[in-house]
Amino acid sequence: MSPDIIIFIVLAAIAIVCAIAMIVTRNAVHSALFLVVVMAVLAVFFLGLAGPFIAMVQVVVYAGAIMVLFLFVVMLLGAERVGARAGLRWQVPVAIALGVVLLAIAGLILFRASPTTAAARLEKASAFTTQVPGACADDVGLARASGVVQGTPCLIGDALFTTYLFPFEIVSILLLVAMVGAVVLTRQSAVAGGPRESAR
Amino acid sequence: MSNQSFSLLFPYLIGLSAVLFTLGVIGVLARRNALIIFMSIELMLNAANLAFVAFARSFNHLDGQVFVFFVMVVAAAEVAVGLALIVTIFRTKKSTNVDDISALRG
Protein backbone atom coordinates (compact mmCIF):
# COMPACT_ATOMS: atom_id res chain seq x y z
CA MET A 1 0.00 0.00 0.00
CA SER A 2 1.42 3.35 -0.98
CA PRO A 3 1.84 6.13 1.62
CA ASP A 4 -0.79 8.25 -0.18
CA ILE A 5 -3.48 5.67 0.50
CA ILE A 6 -2.49 5.22 4.17
CA ILE A 7 -2.55 9.00 4.67
CA PHE A 8 -5.96 9.18 2.98
CA ILE A 9 -7.45 6.45 5.19
CA VAL A 10 -6.12 8.01 8.42
CA LEU A 11 -7.24 11.54 7.51
CA ALA A 12 -10.67 10.39 6.28
CA ALA A 13 -11.20 8.48 9.54
CA ILE A 14 -10.24 11.57 11.59
CA ALA A 15 -12.58 13.78 9.52
CA ILE A 16 -15.58 11.46 9.82
CA VAL A 17 -15.09 10.79 13.54
CA CYS A 18 -14.72 14.51 14.30
CA ALA A 19 -17.77 15.38 12.15
CA ILE A 20 -19.87 12.81 14.08
CA ALA A 21 -18.49 14.11 17.39
CA MET A 22 -19.39 17.66 16.33
CA ILE A 23 -23.02 16.66 15.85
CA VAL A 24 -23.28 14.43 18.93
CA THR A 25 -21.55 16.49 21.63
CA ARG A 26 -23.79 18.61 23.86
CA ASN A 27 -21.23 21.39 24.44
CA ALA A 28 -21.21 24.01 21.65
CA VAL A 29 -17.57 24.91 22.34
CA HIS A 30 -16.55 21.28 21.79
CA SER A 31 -18.60 21.24 18.57
CA ALA A 32 -16.70 24.27 17.28
CA LEU A 33 -13.34 22.70 18.14
CA PHE A 34 -14.26 19.42 16.41
CA LEU A 35 -15.25 21.42 13.33
CA VAL A 36 -11.83 23.12 13.41
CA VAL A 37 -10.22 19.65 13.28
CA VAL A 38 -12.40 18.68 10.27
CA MET A 39 -11.40 21.89 8.47
CA ALA A 40 -7.71 21.34 9.22
CA VAL A 41 -7.96 17.80 7.81
CA LEU A 42 -9.63 19.17 4.67
CA ALA A 43 -6.79 21.71 4.34
CA VAL A 44 -4.33 18.79 4.29
CA PHE A 45 -6.48 17.14 1.58
CA PHE A 46 -6.36 20.37 -0.45
CA LEU A 47 -2.55 20.40 -0.16
CA GLY A 48 -2.42 16.83 -1.46
CA LEU A 49 -4.85 17.65 -4.28
CA ALA A 50 -2.56 20.30 -5.83
CA GLY A 51 -4.19 23.30 -4.13
CA PRO A 52 -1.59 24.94 -1.85
CA PHE A 53 -3.20 28.39 -2.01
CA ILE A 54 -6.69 27.05 -1.28
CA ALA A 55 -5.28 25.01 1.63
CA MET A 56 -3.77 28.11 3.21
CA VAL A 57 -6.98 30.11 2.66
CA GLN A 58 -8.89 27.24 4.28
CA VAL A 59 -6.70 27.43 7.39
CA VAL A 60 -6.68 31.23 7.62
CA VAL A 61 -10.31 32.00 6.70
CA TYR A 62 -12.21 28.91 7.89
CA ALA A 63 -10.21 27.49 10.79
CA GLY A 64 -9.01 30.98 11.69
CA ALA A 65 -11.56 33.70 11.11
CA ILE A 66 -14.92 31.91 10.82
CA MET A 67 -14.42 29.49 13.71
CA VAL A 68 -13.08 32.26 15.97
CA LEU A 69 -16.26 34.19 15.16
CA PHE A 70 -18.28 31.10 16.13
CA LEU A 71 -16.41 30.67 19.42
CA PHE A 72 -16.83 34.37 20.19
CA VAL A 73 -20.60 34.14 19.76
CA VAL A 74 -20.88 30.86 21.71
CA MET A 75 -18.98 32.36 24.65
CA LEU A 76 -20.67 35.76 24.34
CA LEU A 77 -24.11 34.20 24.61
CA GLY A 78 -23.06 31.66 27.23
CA ALA A 79 -24.88 29.12 25.08
CA GLU A 80 -22.48 26.23 25.64
CA ARG A 81 -25.06 23.91 27.16
CA VAL A 82 -28.24 25.03 25.43
CA GLY A 83 -30.13 22.20 23.79
CA ALA A 84 -30.13 19.62 26.59
CA ARG A 85 -33.92 19.92 26.73
CA ALA A 86 -35.60 17.19 24.71
CA GLY A 87 -37.50 18.23 21.60
CA LEU A 88 -39.56 15.97 19.41
CA ARG A 89 -38.82 12.35 20.25
CA TRP A 90 -38.88 11.02 16.68
CA GLN A 91 -36.71 13.81 15.32
CA VAL A 92 -33.29 12.14 15.67
CA PRO A 93 -34.28 8.72 14.21
CA VAL A 94 -36.00 10.41 11.26
CA ALA A 95 -32.97 12.66 10.69
CA ILE A 96 -30.63 9.65 10.67
CA ALA A 97 -32.95 7.69 8.36
CA LEU A 98 -33.16 10.59 5.89
CA GLY A 99 -29.38 10.98 6.05
CA VAL A 100 -28.91 7.29 5.24
CA VAL A 101 -31.30 7.64 2.28
CA LEU A 102 -29.32 10.66 1.00
CA LEU A 103 -26.05 8.76 1.36
CA ALA A 104 -27.51 5.73 -0.43
CA ILE A 105 -28.60 7.88 -3.38
CA ALA A 106 -25.19 9.59 -3.52
CA GLY A 107 -23.45 6.21 -3.36
CA LEU A 108 -25.67 4.82 -6.11
CA ILE A 109 -24.78 7.73 -8.41
CA LEU A 110 -21.09 7.40 -7.51
CA PHE A 111 -20.91 3.68 -8.26
CA ARG A 112 -22.89 4.01 -11.50
CA ALA A 113 -20.43 6.63 -12.79
CA SER A 114 -17.70 5.45 -15.12
CA PRO A 115 -14.54 4.69 -13.10
CA THR A 116 -12.19 5.35 -16.02
CA THR A 117 -13.03 9.03 -16.46
CA ALA A 118 -10.70 10.33 -13.74
CA ALA A 119 -7.64 8.75 -15.35
CA ALA A 120 -8.66 9.86 -18.85
CA ARG A 121 -8.93 13.50 -17.79
CA LEU A 122 -5.42 13.73 -16.40
CA GLU A 123 -3.80 14.44 -19.79
CA LYS A 124 -4.62 18.14 -20.06
CA ALA A 125 -1.65 19.61 -18.16
CA SER A 126 0.62 19.66 -21.25
CA ALA A 127 -1.71 22.16 -22.97
CA PHE A 128 -2.12 24.34 -19.86
CA THR A 129 -1.89 28.12 -20.43
CA THR A 130 -2.72 31.28 -18.52
CA GLN A 131 -5.03 34.08 -19.63
CA VAL A 132 -2.27 36.71 -19.55
CA PRO A 133 0.49 35.68 -22.00
CA GLY A 134 3.73 34.94 -20.20
CA ALA A 135 2.26 35.23 -16.70
CA CYS A 136 3.40 32.78 -14.00
CA ALA A 137 6.00 31.25 -16.33
CA ASP A 138 7.54 29.19 -13.52
CA ASP A 139 4.22 27.68 -12.44
CA VAL A 140 3.11 26.93 -16.00
CA GLY A 141 6.47 25.31 -16.77
CA LEU A 142 6.22 23.21 -13.60
CA ALA A 143 2.67 22.14 -14.54
CA ARG A 144 3.76 21.01 -18.01
CA ALA A 145 6.84 19.23 -16.68
CA SER A 146 5.11 17.39 -13.82
CA GLY A 147 1.72 16.87 -15.52
CA VAL A 148 -0.13 18.35 -12.52
CA VAL A 149 -1.53 21.90 -12.48
CA GLN A 150 -0.78 23.24 -8.99
CA GLY A 151 -3.15 25.92 -7.66
CA THR A 152 -0.42 28.41 -6.72
CA PRO A 153 -1.33 32.00 -5.70
CA CYS A 154 -0.07 33.26 -9.08
CA LEU A 155 -2.24 30.91 -11.17
CA ILE A 156 -5.33 31.35 -8.95
CA GLY A 157 -4.88 35.11 -9.18
CA ASP A 158 -4.54 34.87 -12.95
CA ALA A 159 -7.90 33.07 -13.19
CA LEU A 160 -9.52 35.33 -10.58
CA PHE A 161 -8.58 38.63 -12.23
CA THR A 162 -9.28 37.64 -15.84
CA THR A 163 -11.90 34.93 -16.35
CA TYR A 164 -13.62 35.47 -12.99
CA LEU A 165 -13.21 39.23 -12.67
CA PHE A 166 -16.96 39.97 -12.69
CA PRO A 167 -17.86 37.37 -10.01
CA PHE A 168 -14.89 38.66 -8.01
CA GLU A 169 -16.30 42.21 -8.02
CA ILE A 170 -19.79 40.97 -7.14
CA VAL A 171 -18.33 38.99 -4.23
CA SER A 172 -16.66 42.15 -2.92
CA ILE A 173 -20.05 43.88 -2.88
CA LEU A 174 -21.54 40.82 -1.14
CA LEU A 175 -18.91 41.08 1.61
CA LEU A 176 -19.62 44.80 2.02
CA VAL A 177 -23.37 44.14 2.29
CA ALA A 178 -22.76 41.34 4.82
CA MET A 179 -20.53 43.60 6.90
CA VAL A 180 -23.04 46.47 6.93
CA GLY A 181 -25.84 43.99 7.69
CA ALA A 182 -23.95 42.49 10.64
CA VAL A 183 -23.20 45.96 12.06
CA VAL A 184 -26.81 47.11 11.70
CA LEU A 185 -28.24 43.92 13.22
CA THR A 186 -26.03 43.86 16.31
CA ARG A 187 -25.89 47.59 17.04
CA GLN A 188 -27.12 48.49 20.51
CA SER A 189 -28.85 51.69 19.60
CA ALA A 190 -29.67 54.45 22.09
CA VAL A 191 -32.56 55.48 19.87
CA ALA A 192 -35.99 54.76 21.33
CA GLY A 193 -37.58 51.75 19.68
CA GLY A 194 -34.48 49.53 19.64
CA PRO A 195 -32.70 47.98 16.68
CA ARG A 196 -35.80 47.63 14.51
CA GLU A 197 -36.31 51.38 14.54
CA SER A 198 -32.70 52.19 13.73
CA ALA A 199 -32.48 49.63 10.91
CA ARG A 200 -34.95 51.65 8.88
CA MET B 1 -0.24 12.87 -4.56
CA SER B 2 0.89 11.06 -7.71
CA ASN B 3 -1.41 10.63 -10.72
CA GLN B 4 -1.59 6.88 -10.14
CA SER B 5 -2.70 7.01 -6.51
CA PHE B 6 -5.02 9.93 -7.31
CA SER B 7 -6.82 7.89 -9.98
CA LEU B 8 -7.23 5.15 -7.39
CA LEU B 9 -8.41 7.46 -4.61
CA PHE B 10 -10.64 9.79 -6.64
CA PRO B 11 -13.95 7.87 -6.08
CA TYR B 12 -13.18 7.60 -2.37
CA LEU B 13 -12.53 11.35 -2.13
CA ILE B 14 -15.95 12.01 -3.65
CA GLY B 15 -17.37 9.37 -1.28
CA LEU B 16 -15.78 11.11 1.72
CA SER B 17 -17.29 14.36 0.49
CA ALA B 18 -20.72 12.70 0.31
CA VAL B 19 -20.33 11.27 3.84
CA LEU B 20 -19.34 14.65 5.31
CA PHE B 21 -22.23 16.33 3.50
CA THR B 22 -24.65 13.74 4.87
CA LEU B 23 -23.33 14.28 8.40
CA GLY B 24 -23.97 18.00 7.92
CA VAL B 25 -27.53 17.30 6.78
CA ILE B 26 -28.11 15.04 9.82
CA GLY B 27 -26.75 17.79 12.06
CA VAL B 28 -29.17 20.34 10.62
CA LEU B 29 -32.12 17.94 10.93
CA ALA B 30 -31.36 16.49 14.36
CA ARG B 31 -30.00 19.38 16.43
CA ARG B 32 -32.10 22.26 17.80
CA ASN B 33 -29.29 24.63 18.81
CA ALA B 34 -29.04 27.35 16.14
CA LEU B 35 -25.25 27.54 16.55
CA ILE B 36 -24.82 23.80 15.93
CA ILE B 37 -27.10 24.08 12.88
CA PHE B 38 -24.86 26.83 11.53
CA MET B 39 -21.76 24.69 12.13
CA SER B 40 -23.44 21.81 10.25
CA ILE B 41 -24.06 24.15 7.30
CA GLU B 42 -20.34 25.01 7.37
CA LEU B 43 -19.59 21.28 7.31
CA MET B 44 -21.78 20.86 4.20
CA LEU B 45 -20.02 23.76 2.47
CA ASN B 46 -16.67 22.19 3.32
CA ALA B 47 -17.76 18.83 1.91
CA ALA B 48 -18.74 20.58 -1.34
CA ASN B 49 -15.34 22.30 -1.36
CA LEU B 50 -13.61 18.93 -1.08
CA ALA B 51 -15.55 17.67 -4.12
CA PHE B 52 -14.67 20.86 -6.03
CA VAL B 53 -10.95 20.47 -5.33
CA ALA B 54 -10.99 16.74 -6.15
CA PHE B 55 -12.67 17.42 -9.50
CA ALA B 56 -10.25 20.31 -10.18
CA ARG B 57 -7.38 17.86 -9.67
CA SER B 58 -9.16 15.30 -11.84
CA PHE B 59 -9.67 17.72 -14.75
CA ASN B 60 -6.20 19.22 -14.19
CA HIS B 61 -7.76 22.66 -14.27
CA LEU B 62 -7.98 25.46 -11.72
CA ASP B 63 -11.60 26.54 -12.17
CA GLY B 64 -12.71 24.24 -9.35
CA GLN B 65 -10.25 25.86 -6.95
CA VAL B 66 -11.45 29.33 -7.92
CA PHE B 67 -15.00 28.18 -7.12
CA VAL B 68 -13.81 26.99 -3.70
CA PHE B 69 -12.52 30.51 -3.15
CA PHE B 70 -15.97 31.94 -3.93
CA VAL B 71 -17.69 29.37 -1.70
CA MET B 72 -15.45 30.43 1.19
CA VAL B 73 -16.33 34.10 0.64
CA VAL B 74 -20.06 33.34 0.59
CA ALA B 75 -19.65 31.20 3.73
CA ALA B 76 -17.87 34.08 5.50
CA ALA B 77 -20.65 36.52 4.56
CA GLU B 78 -23.33 34.01 5.60
CA VAL B 79 -21.68 33.40 8.98
CA ALA B 80 -21.31 37.13 9.69
CA VAL B 81 -25.00 37.86 9.02
CA GLY B 82 -26.25 34.59 10.55
CA LEU B 83 -24.36 35.03 13.81
CA ALA B 84 -25.55 38.65 14.00
CA LEU B 85 -29.12 37.36 13.66
CA ILE B 86 -28.55 34.74 16.38
CA VAL B 87 -27.13 37.38 18.73
CA THR B 88 -30.08 39.70 18.08
CA ILE B 89 -32.61 36.89 18.63
CA PHE B 90 -30.80 35.81 21.81
CA ARG B 91 -31.20 39.33 23.20
CA THR B 92 -34.98 39.17 23.04
CA LYS B 93 -35.67 35.43 23.46
CA LYS B 94 -32.75 34.49 25.76
CA SER B 95 -32.40 31.24 23.81
CA THR B 96 -30.62 29.79 20.78
CA ASN B 97 -33.06 26.90 20.46
CA VAL B 98 -34.79 27.11 17.08
CA ASP B 99 -38.00 25.62 18.54
CA ASP B 100 -38.39 28.77 20.66
CA ILE B 101 -38.27 31.00 17.58
CA SER B 102 -41.68 30.18 16.16
CA ALA B 103 -43.34 33.61 16.19
CA LEU B 104 -42.98 36.03 13.29
CA ARG B 105 -43.38 38.95 15.68
CA GLY B 106 -40.61 39.50 18.28
| Complex confidence, ipTM | 0.91
Q: What are phi and psi of A186, to 5 degrees?
A: -100, 0
The whole domain housing B70 covers 3-98
Mark which residues 81-110 of A lie under 8 Å from B by CB: 82-83, 85, 87, 91-92, 94-96, 98-100, 102-103, 106-107, 110
Nearest to A167 by CA among B46, B70, B75, B45: B70
Contact B36 A83 (CB under 8 A): yes
Which chain A positions have a beta carbon within 8 Å of B3's beta carbon? Answer: 119, 122, 147-148
Q: Cα–chain-centroid distance for residue B19?
A: 13
> What is the pTM assigned to this prediction?
0.88
Residue B104 lies in a domain: no
Predicted confidence (pLDDT) at residue A115 exceeds the cutoff of 60: no
Per the prediction, chain A carries an average pLDDT of 83
Contact A49 B56 (CB under 8 A): yes
Band the pLDDT of A200: cuts 50, 70, 90: very low
pLDDT tens track for A48-67? 898 899 999 999 998 888 99
Mark which residues 35-64 of B lie under 8 Å from A by CB: 35-36, 38-40, 42-43, 46, 49-50, 53-54, 56-63
By CA distance, what is A107's nearest residue in B? B15
Nearest to B14 by CA among B44, B64, B43, B48: B48
Question: How many domains, in total, are found in chain B?
Answer: 1
Instruction: Count interface pairs A-B at CB distance under 8 A.
Output: 250
Q: What's chain B's length in residues? A: 106
Residue B49 lies in a domain: yes
Residue B74 lies in a domain: yes
Residue B90 lies in a domain: yes
Q: What's chain A's length in residues? A: 200
Residues 6 or more apart whose Cβ sits within 8 Å of residue B28: B37, B40, B41, B44
Looking at residue A123, its pLDDT comes to 61
Q: What is the mean pLDDT of residues A171-194?
A: 82
Evaluate whether B2 touches A49 at the Cβ level (below 8 Å): no
Band the pLDDT of A190: cuts 50, 70, 90: low
Contact A61 B46 (CB under 8 A): no
Query: Is B33 at the interface with chain A, CB within 8 A?
Result: yes
Query: Is A153 at the interface with chain B, CB within 8 A?
Result: no
Contact A22 B96 (CB under 8 A): no
Q: What is the mean pLDDT of residues A127-156?
A: 80
**Residue B17 belongs to domain with CATH number:** 1.10.287.3510
Q: What is the mean pLDDT of residues A4-28?
A: 92
pLDDT tens track for B68-95? 999 999 999 999 999 999 888 888 888 8
Looking at residue A198, its pLDDT comes to 47
Half-sphere exposure of B57 (CA within 13 A, CB side): 27
Predicted confidence (pLDDT) at residue A196 exceeds the cutoff of 60: no
- Class of the domain covering A1-81: mainly alpha
